[in-house]
Amino acid sequence: MIISEADAIWAADKFIDYFKNFKTIEDYLRNAKNEAIGKRTSMIFGCSHRDEFLNEDIHPSEMEFEVKAVGDRFDDNIQQQQFIELLTATSSHVIEHNIPGRELRWMVFEKRTQKIMGFIRFGSPVINSKPRNIWFGKQPDLSMFNRHAVMGFAIVPSQPFGYNYLGGKLLALMCISHFAREEVSRVFEKDIALFETTSLYGSTTSASQYDGLKPFIRYKGLTDSKFLPLLHAESFHELHNHFTHLNNGNPLTENRASSKKLKRQTKMIAWIRNSLKEHGNDEKLKEFNTIISQAFNLTQQKRFYVSDYGYQNVREVILGEQDKLIRGQNWDKFHLDNIISWWKRKAGKRYEKLKQEGRFRDKVELWTEDDNIQIIR
């Protein structure tokens, strides 16, 4: 579709004005998060949540943990809205209220204090993944793969628990415990044997919370995920509403389409380019293409991690080469009690070092209440 030159210039300037402010992916994430929250104040949620999060000075050896599932289908459950509200306050990422396929949400508490120390969100894996295909040797059959695999979409420690106690590593380890495997298998009605997740950052950082967790979790390469970051909040809606008007009142994709926001943004960019080219406005087209190219460079490949829950032949079973899962030599290490004991040793050293060096943090960090969050998570 070709739109008027005035409309094309107006829309191009909207993209230019939005993306010109970002030098790094962190700049983009902070802006997107602040737009999603609207105001960094507890008044959005009605009251402060600081007292709900773990902030006590406790040696890791003295901690015990409790997992509470989210949703009315579970006993002693956490309400969905409470989970979203508290995770939004904690995570630097913009939280999607729903993800495709099945999901299971957990909040993790320190048992004695009943304070929150993290959030976990399991879901159906993404359809395709380059490092996964390399690990398998080919793209696996999706029906067999989905029968055995689960993905960690959000594994977010509260702060300062994450910083002081390697909290992100504890949550990641909980995800690959036999306790988690059995619970996810029950809720998803599947036979889970493979766990996948990706880091928030990838090719521009040398480490993530999933590193240093062998034999439980192993790094398998970088995803092939070069894409244009999405416009957020009012910026996107203003543009899409205008393009809907230009499209005789019809949205640029069906409302039920998968990844509809990405598809709509891609279509708007194509219309802007085609229209500027048609009207011979080479100067504006060059400016627009330059800023879009710069925005592409904000994104990066993510670090991809897997766990086989202690099985020795997950790949062979998913590829249909073998029928029965076989427990490997590390099987017992994946029991939750053994995993927590392993973490306590690591976290104890971290805790003692921070205390000795005077770097132990004592402030709960919430995006809804703080002006300058130092940790992107």
Q: Residue 210 is encoded by which pair of tokens?
A: 């999933």
pLDDT tens by residue, 112-135: 999 999 999 999 998 888 899 999
pLDDT tens by residue, 60-92: 999 999 999 998 888 878 888 889 889 888 886
**Mean pLDDT, range 226-232, rounded to an integer:** 80
Phi first, then psi: give them for residue 160, nearest 5 degrees.
-95, 10
**Gap between the Cα atoms of 318 and 145, Å rounded:** 6
pLDDT tens by residue, 311-323: 999 999 999 999 9
- Under the banding of pLDDT at 50, 70 and 90, the label for residue 257 is low
Whether residue 259 is predicted with pLDDT greater than 90 in this model: the reply is no
Residue 309 φ/ψ region, left for φ over 0, alpha for ψ in the -120 to 50 degree band, beta for the rest: left
Across the chain, where does the E strand assignment appear? 65-69, 103-110, 115-123, 149-157, 194-202, 218-222, 302-307
**Mean pLDDT, range 44-65, rounded to an integer:** 85
DSSP reduced 3-state for 106: strand
Between the CA atoms of 272, 278, 283 and 287, what dihedral angle is there, to the nearest 10 degrees? 20
Averaged confidence pLDDT in the chain: 88
Question: Which sequence spans correspond to the domains of the chain?
Answer: 5-27+228-296, 39-181+324-357
**Gap between the Cα atoms of 367 and 205, Å rounded:** 23
Q: How large a percentage of the chain has pLDDT more than 90?
A: 62
pTM of the model: 0.81
pLDDT tens by residue, 288-305: 999 999 988 877 778 899
**Gap between the Cα atoms of 195 and 66, Å rounded:** 21
Beta bridge partners of 219: 305
Rg over CA atoms, the chain: 23
